[in-house]
Amino acid sequence: MSNRAYNFNAGPAALPLEVLQQAQEQFVEFNGAGMSIMEMSHRSAAYEQVHNEAQSLLRELFGIPDNYHVLFLQGGASMQFAMLPMNLLAPSRAAAYAISGNWANKAVKEARLIGETIVAASSEGDGYRRTPAITDIVIPDDAAYVHVTSNETIEGTQYQAFPDTGNVPLAADMSSDILSRPVDVSKFGVIYAGAQKNLGPSGVTLVVIRNDLAAASPKSLPSMLRYETHVKNNSLYNTPPSFAIYMVNLMLKWIRSNGGVGELAKVNQAKTALIYDTIDNSGGFYTGFALPESRSRMNVTFRIRNEELEKLFIKESEQQGFIGLKGHRDVGGLRASVYNAVPMASCQALAQFMIDFQRRNG
């Protein structure tokens, strides 16, 4: 399709054209069922096959050990900001949060409503232009869990490695870089992620949780807020976002057909290198927001020397089919979100546009 936009939206974000086309082919009638998957019961064999297959593909592609559950929930990562401490933060303990930017701050704000929290480390002093150093994360021995935000979409920073938290469970919001690179899942107690950046459309949230942590859900919580409820019902306690899960299934098959997570990580690095190199070789016309050691491979944040040029950049880029390059209102500037489904050709086109824009306005 020649009229496809160069989609750099931060989320909901780009999906592979072939995935969209396959969904289009099956939209009215799914596998001879005489109806769309959106119309059929979530208790039907046809839907449960899609549901279970998506869980199996996640285990395969993300290397999820057998002693972890894979859940499909709703409410986005924002729901998990509260659901995590509700389930894991005991009254006599504290949760330790590493503060790396906007989303980490939102997570700890919700946790404070539930129980005691401490700041284990923070990069606020550097304007959140980096992630907290692993060596700076201080973990109390009796902490209920340690929480990190693996990638900050607004500031454009990303952990390049994760802390070893010993016997204290490590929880991570991976909404914006899930399945974009290999991760040792066994180092984590809980991983959660909204699907709408790397896994599919909005509406479904992935939670990967170690068995013992799920089993410890307090019985005093409402059923829908207990991880144990969803484990026992295979994420089918209530009506799931069935079409979104179907799309996740297609997206996972696309990841597998493109070489898996390891191969995608190489492509993602090459895609963002094109843009970072353009920034670094611009002689100061463009400046990156994130410090080089913390640069995200998902969200490239940068500035131009004055806001008038930034406004002109947005205007001209939109005229040429580039979508989503305006930075978040809390930070300003410019941002290119380069998730799994953003093709190399889009990044090449953006790099060339940036070079041309500088030539005309430098």
- Copy the structure tokens of residue 347: 């990044």
Task: Report whether 6 contacts 350 (CB < 8 A).
Answer: yes
315 catalytic per annotation: no
Burial 166-205 (b: 16+ CB within 10 A, else e): eebbbbbbbbbbbbbbebebeebbbbbbbbbbbbbbebbb
Q: In terms of Cα–Cα distance, which of 39, 161, 140, 156 is closest to 148?
A: 161
- Selected catalytic residue, list 173, 177, 271, 326: 173
197 catalytic per annotation: yes
Task: Report whether 278 contacts 351 (CB < 8 A).
Answer: yes
Q: What does the alpha-carbon distance between residue 73 and residue 245 come to, in Å, rounded to a whole number?
A: 10
Which residues, including other chains, have CB under 8 Å from residue 128's CB and lie 6 or more apart? 100, 101, 102, 152, 155, 157
- Selected catalytic residue, list 106, 109, 164, 197: 197
Helices (H), 63-168: 76-88, 102-114
Cα angle vertex 310, ends 308, 311, to 5°?
A: 65
Q: Is 329 exposed, middle or buried (0-12, 13-18, 19+ CB in 10 A)?
A: exposed
- Selected catalytic residue, list 103, 177, 271, 326: 103
173 catalytic per annotation: yes
* Residues designated catalytic: 103, 173, 197
